[in-house]
Each structure stands twice: as C-alpha cells, then as structure tokens.
Amino acid sequence: MGFPKLALALAATPAWGSVQSGSNAVSMNPIRKVVTMLQKMQKSVEVQGEKDKELFDKFMCYCKTGSTDLGKSIGDASTKVSSLPSEVEESEAQLVQLKEDLKKHQVDRSAAKAAMATATALREKEAAEFAKVSNDLKTNIAAITKATAAIDKGMEGGFLQTSAAQILKQLAMSDNGLIDADRQDLAVWLSGSSEQGYAPSSQSVVGILKQMSDTMQKTLDEATEEENTSKTTYGELMAAKTKEVNALTSAIEKKTMRVGELGIEIVQMKQDLSDTEEGLLEDKKFLAELSGSCDTKQKEQAIMVKTRGEEMVALSDTIKILNDDDALEIFKKTLPGGSALMQVDSVTKSTRAKALALLQEAGSRPGADRSKVDFIMLAIRGKSGAKFEKVIKMIDDMVALLKEEALDDEHKKEYCTMQFDFADDKKKELERSVSDLETAISDAKEGLENCKTDIANLDAGIKNLDKQVAEATEQRKEENSDFQTLMAGNGQAKELLDFAKNRLNKFYNPKMYKAASFVQIASHNNKKADPGPAPETAEYKKKSGESNNVIAMIDLLIQEIATEMTEAETEERLAQEEYEELMQTSAEKRRTDTKTLAEKEATKANLESSLAKNDVEKKDTTKELMATEEYIGSLHAECDWLVKYFDIRKEARTGEIDAMVKAKAVLSGADFSLLQTKDAKFLGRQ
C-alpha cells in the first residue's frame, strides 16, 4: 500500500518535535515567490519609513525640548534591559521544568492506569479460576455427600444409577490423592459388582469418601481464603492507584494551566524586552544626534522620503508587471510545473524469506523508521543471519520504541488540547475586557465633554449672575441716592413754604403766627433774627383777601410735597425690599451653582482620572491579548501537525508494530505463509 512521502515524513517525526510542511516548498510557483518577496520588501520599506518618520519626529521634538527627559528614559530603559533577560531566563527554565514535570505526570498516570488494567485482568482471571475450582469442588463434595447418605440408608443400588455416581467415578480415576487400593475399592463399589468375589465393605467406602471429602473441603477453604485475600489486595491496589491517578490528573490540569500562563508571560516579557531594547537604541541614537543640525536633518529626511517613494513605485511597478495576465501566461509556458509529491517506492522483490517480506512491508508503511528496518533486514541477510537472537532483540526494542512514541503522541495531544482550551478562554476574556474598556473610555469621553459644557455654562451663569447683582446694587444705590436727594429737597421746600406761610400769618393773621417756628426756620436757613415790627408811621390797609389766597396756595403746595414725600418713602421701601429679596435669591442661586460647579469639577477630575486609568489598562490588556494570540500561534505551530496527523500516525504505528511482531514470530519459527500470500496479493493491487 503506497503513501506520499509527506505523510511518511510527518508520521515518522518524533512526538515532541516540530514539523515544517513541505507542500508549499515543493509546489509553490516561483513567480509567486518573487511577488511575495517583493510584497515583503514593500512592507519592509513601508515599516522602515514609519520608523524613520517616528525617529525624525522624535529628533525634531528633542531639538526643541532638550535631552533631560531622554536621559531619564535611557536610564530607566537600561535598568530594565539589564534585569529583564534574567527574568526571562528564569521563567523559561521554570517553563522547561514545568513541561518536564507535566510529561512525567502523564507518563506516571499512564503507568498507573496500565497497572490498574493489568491488575484488573489478573483479578478477573483469578476470579474465573476460583469459580471453576470452587464449583468443581462443591460439585464433588455434594456427590460424596449423596453417596455417603445413600450408604447410610442402605440405598447404594439406587445411588449408583444417579449422575452423582458418575461424578464419583470420574473423580476416583482422576484424584491423584487416592492410593491405588482405595481407588480400586471405590471403583469396585461404584461398578456395583464384585471382582472375583471381592466387595469392599460399606464402612471402608465411607472412610474413603470421608477422606476425599475432607481433602476437598480443605482445598476449597484454602482456595476461598486465597480468593478473599486476592480481592482485598486488589481493592487496596485499585484504591491506591485511583488516588494516584486522581492526584496526577489534578497536577496535570494545574501545571497545564500554569504552562499556558507562564508561556504568555514569557512572550510578554520578551516583547517588553524587545520593545525596551529598541526604544533604548532609538533614545541613544536620538541623544547622539541631538547635537547635529536640525536643518540638515530635515533635508536628509526630505531626501529619504523622496527615495523611499521612488522605491515603493519601483516595487509596485515590478509587482504589477509580474502579476499581469500576459506575463502569467508566459510563465506558465516557460517555467517548469510544481513537482508532484513523490510516491514511496514500492519495489516488489521475490521474497527470500518470510521475515524479510514482513519487514519489507513494515518499512514501506507510512511513518515507519526505515533506517532501523533496513538495519534489521541487513542483519538478516548477513552470513551470520542463521542466529536471530540479536535481530529479535532489535525488533523488540523497536516495538518498545514505537509504543513509547505512541504514548508520547497521546500525552502531547492531551497537552495541546488543554493548552488550546486555556489560551482560547484567556483570549476571549481579554477581548471582553478590551471591549468593556473601550466602552468605558467612550462613556468617559462623552461624560467629560458633557462636564466641560456644564462647567462652562455654570461658570458663565455665575459670572452673569454676579454682573446682574452688581448692576442691581448700583441701580439700588442710584435709586436710594435719588430718594435721599428728593427727600432732602422736598423737606427744605416744605420748611421754606412753612416759613413763608408763617411769615404771611405774622402780618395778616397774627394769631396764627408761630414764633418758634419762625426762629427755627430762620436759624435753619442761617437768617438774621427778626428785628420786630417796624414802627408805624401811617395807617396801612392790609390786603387780607389776597393773602388768604396765597396762604391757601402755599398749603396746597405743602400738601403736594408731603404727598410726594410719602409716595417716595413707599417706593423706596418697596424697592429696598425687592432688592433685598433679589440679593437673597441671587445669593442662594450662586451658592447652588457654585456647589454644582464644584461637583462638576470633581466629576470632571474623576472622569479624567478614570479615562487615563482605562487608557493604560486598555493598552496593557491589548498587549496581553497580543501576547496571548502570539502564544496561540506558537501552539498552532507546535501542535497542529500532531492533531492533523494523529490518527494517521497511530494507524501507521499500529500496522508497523503488527508487522514487526509477525516478523519476530517468523524468526522464532512461526509459519505466516498464508498471511504473507494474502498480504502480497493486497500489495499487488496497490
């Protein structure tokens, strides 16, 4: 049966090794390789351009800001670079030890399970043997008991016709514990006829039967005791092995999880070290270049950008040329096609010996270790091939090695499955965390913008309120000043009118004259004291009628002034009350707005802190997610080949072991000619 060499190579790969697929290397179109290389060059040029741009931007920044921060960064990075390698080395050593422990636990668990299976098979075999022995002994003892009872009742004739008698006959012939004389007596008795007139006595037969029964009962008791002891020993062994398997399973699960976690940590540390080293080199480069001319650097950068652009255009044009349909058609006609996967040579030779034919078949199977098979065949073909002890030992060693490789494959597959489960769960958890952090960051940014708007509105409102309060206060001052002026002017006018009225009354209505009032007003207006009535020189006729009209007019004016003053006082009081109420309301609003503003400022500070924290946490989580994805990639590189070819390897190994066992049997003298003929016909059909 033929298989591609690729499958054979994959199947023959050691269980804990790694495989590099050969299909791409064999059949990939050469032009596609060239295009891929050009595309990689494009990507490299682009990445280098980004790095150069980043270096240039940093350089120009440092040209302006100085090297203080750069020096501190270099110091911190140097410290980190000096400490991280030892941490990575320590973690890698720990990972190696964990993997060794994990493999040992798997081997120990497999050994414990194998021991349990062996013990169970042995116990089942012992139980079956005991059941047979016990049943035979109980059947024989029952037959002897029936025979003894028949003798005691004098019913020997009837007993001899039963199946129990037949059992006793067989027992008498096969029981090596009987002496010949007792066997002869028992045989004569069981036959029911005397030989030459001799017949053993009933008591003699009963004695023989009792001796046989005692011996059988003793054997049965010993077998029962041995069976009970075996059961107890088996139970204790199974309990101990079950406990051992459970403990090893728990250890395997824990160490598998720790292997995954440590693997991700090592990837992160290496990434951190690589990033730090790269950053350190860049920082040192920046610091060294800081003394150069910024103008020169700008010119150099312009030349680099132009050159890089020309290079990208050249690469793009080349890729376009190679990918053109006409070019591809030309390449198809001129370039050799991909080499097909070679098939395994199946050279059929006339079998010189059955063992050589079987080993030839074993060596032709996918996954077989051809070098070892050829070495065994060479040993058989040698002149000293007549003695096959060494060859048989080589076959035994190879079968043991194949079984060990099979066990390693099973352990590796278990390890890969558990690591994939752990890493996938870790990846999903980190992706959820990144999504939650992005939502939190978006909410914080939105809340921050709202806070800023609210703070601006509150601040503007407080300023506007203060302005309104100031304007209202100024207006109140002006109103109060006008009121004071009005009251002062109206008071003086009223006093003057009272003074004028009193003066007219002094002349026209002396009885209504108020001297005190006159003196007060005169004094109030800084007038000189009244010198008294002038001396009469001639009789003068008073104009009393006209004076009364004047006085009435003065009274009316005084009343209007009093009314105006009363109205002014009322307006002043109401205006003052409104002002005080406005001041109280404004003060309360200012206190509320100021408190709200303080709360908004605190909320803004909290949101800014939360945003900064979430940004850092998102960056760290994203970095851990990238490390986890890289670790999953390494798991695929380590495990995919085994998972894909596990069944093929297992089937190939099983067939190889079967062929090796048959070859050993042939070398040991067994005849497999019929099987070989069948296999040869099968191989001929392939």
Tally of structural domains, the chain = 3
Q: Are 597 and 453 in contact (CB under 8 A)?
A: no
Least confident range from 347-351, 360-364, 395-399: namely: 347-351
What average pLDDT does range 602-610 have in this prediction? 90
What is residue 238's predicted lDDT score, i.e. its pLDDT?
92
Chain centroid offset of residue 620 CA: 13
In terms of C-beta distances under 8 Å and separation of at least 24 residues, what long-range contacts does 146-153 make, across chains too? 147/205, 147/209, 148/206, 148/209, 148/210, 148/213, 151/202, 151/205, 151/206, 151/209, 152/206
Asked, for residue 619, whether it belongs to a domain, the answer is yes
List, for residues 263-303, the tens digit of each pLDDT value.
888 888 888 888 888 888 887 887 776 666 666 777 788 88
* Top-confidence residue, 263 or 334: 263
Residues above pLDDT 90, as percent of the chain: 23
What is residue 681's predicted lDDT score, i.e. its pLDDT?
43
Asked, for residue 55, whether it belongs to a domain, the answer is no
* pLDDT greater than 80 at residue 382: no
Please give the angle made by the CA atoms of 254, 260 and 263, to the nearest 5 degrees.
135
What is residue 550's predicted lDDT score, i.e. its pLDDT?
73
- Where residue 353 falls among pLDDT bands split at 50, 70, 90? low
Which residue type sits at 374?
Answer: D
CA-CA distance, 139 to 213, in Å (whole number)?
11
* pLDDT greater than 70 at residue 507: yes
Q: Are residues 608 and 483 in the same domain?
A: yes
Least confident range from 26-30, 118-122, 614-618: namely: 26-30
Q: Are residues 318 and 197 in the same domain?
A: no
CA-CA distance, 624 to 426, in Å (whole number)?
10
* pLDDT greater than 90 at residue 401: no
* Top-confidence residue, 177 or 597: 597
Name, of 288-297, 431-440, 507-516, 555-564, the range with top average pLDDT: 431-440
* Top-confidence residue, 386 or 575: 575
Q: Are residues 314 and 241 in the same domain?
A: no
Q: Are 369 and 398 in contact (CB under 8 A)?
A: yes
* pLDDT greater than 90 at residue 167: no
What is residue 225's predicted lDDT score, i.e. its pLDDT?
93
The four Cα atoms 234, 236, 240, 245 give a dihedral, to 10 degrees, of: 40
Q: Are residues 310 and 236 in the same domain?
A: no
* pLDDT greater than 80 at residue 109: yes
Asked, for residue 378, whether it belongs to a domain, the answer is no
What is residue 470's predicted lDDT score, i.e. its pLDDT?
92
Asked, for residue 58, whether it belongs to a domain, the answer is no
Name, of 43-57, 192-206, 385-399, 402-416, the range with top average pLDDT: 402-416
What is residue 170's predicted lDDT score, i.e. its pLDDT?
74
- Where residue 100 falls among pLDDT bands split at 50, 70, 90? very high
Asked, for residue 347, whether it belongs to a domain, the answer is no
pTM of the predicted structure, to 2 decimals: 0.50
Instruction: Give the helix, strand, coil percentages of the chain, each rounded to 5.
Output: 85, 0, 15
Q: Are residues 241 and 311 in the same domain?
A: no
Least confident range from 139-143, 178-182, 283-287, 349-353: namely: 349-353
Q: Are residues 166 and 257 in the same domain?
A: yes
Q: Are residues 307 and 246 in the same domain?
A: no
What is residue 439's predicted lDDT score, i.e. its pLDDT?
93
What is residue 235's predicted lDDT score, i.e. its pLDDT?
93
* pLDDT greater than 80 at residue 71: no
What average pLDDT does range 244-268 have in this prediction? 90
Give the SS3 label for residue 3. coil
User: Looking at 267, 287, 313, which one is the last position of a domain?
Assistant: 267
* pLDDT greater than 70 at residue 387: no
Q: Could you tell me the CATH number of the domain that includes residue 617?
A: 1.10.287
* Top-confidence residue, 380 or 610: 610
What is residue 378's predicted lDDT score, i.e. its pLDDT?
67
Q: Are residues 503 and 612 in the same domain?
A: yes
CA-CA distance, 166 to 684, in Å (whole number)?
59
User: Looking at 610, 632, 654, which one is the last position of a domain?
Assistant: 632
Asked, for residue 157, whether it belongs to a domain, the answer is yes
Average pLDDT, the chain: 76
Q: Are residues 458 and 557 in the same domain?
A: yes
* pLDDT greater than 90 at residue 26: no
What is residue 199's predicted lDDT score, i.e. its pLDDT?
58
How would you label 576-596 residue by residue, b for 16+ Cβ within 10 Å and e otherwise? eeebeeeeeebeeebeebeee
What is residue 348's predicted lDDT score, i.e. its pLDDT?
29
Q: Are residues 189 and 305 in the same domain?
A: no
What is residue 521's predicted lDDT score, i.e. its pLDDT?
45
* pLDDT greater than 50 at residue 352: no
* Top-confidence residue, 467 or 73: 467
Asked, for residue 236, whether it belongs to a domain, the answer is yes
Least confident range from 398-412, 491-505, 642-656, 665-679: namely: 665-679
Asked, for residue 251, whether it belongs to a domain, the answer is yes
What is residue 139's predicted lDDT score, i.e. its pLDDT?
85
Q: Which range of residues forms the domain containing residue 239?
A: 116-267
Residue keyed to tokens 């006082």: 569
Least confident range from 80-84, 354-358, 579-583, 656-660: namely: 354-358
Residues 6+ apart with CB under 8 A from 373: 359, 362, 363, 398
Q: Are 503 and 518 in contact (CB under 8 A)?
A: yes
* Top-confidence residue, 577 or 375: 577
Q: Are residues 460 and 550 in the same domain?
A: yes
CA-CA distance, 222 to 569, in Å (whole number)?
134
- Check residue 67 and report its DSSP letter: S
User: Looking at 588, 605, 632, which one is the last position of a domain?
Assistant: 632
What is residue 359's predicted lDDT score, i.e. its pLDDT?
65
* pLDDT greater than 70 at residue 234: yes
* Top-confidence residue, 33 or 486: 486
* pLDDT greater than 90 at residue 240: yes
Q: Are residues 263 and 318 in the same domain?
A: no
Least confident range from 41-45, 424-428, 577-581: namely: 41-45
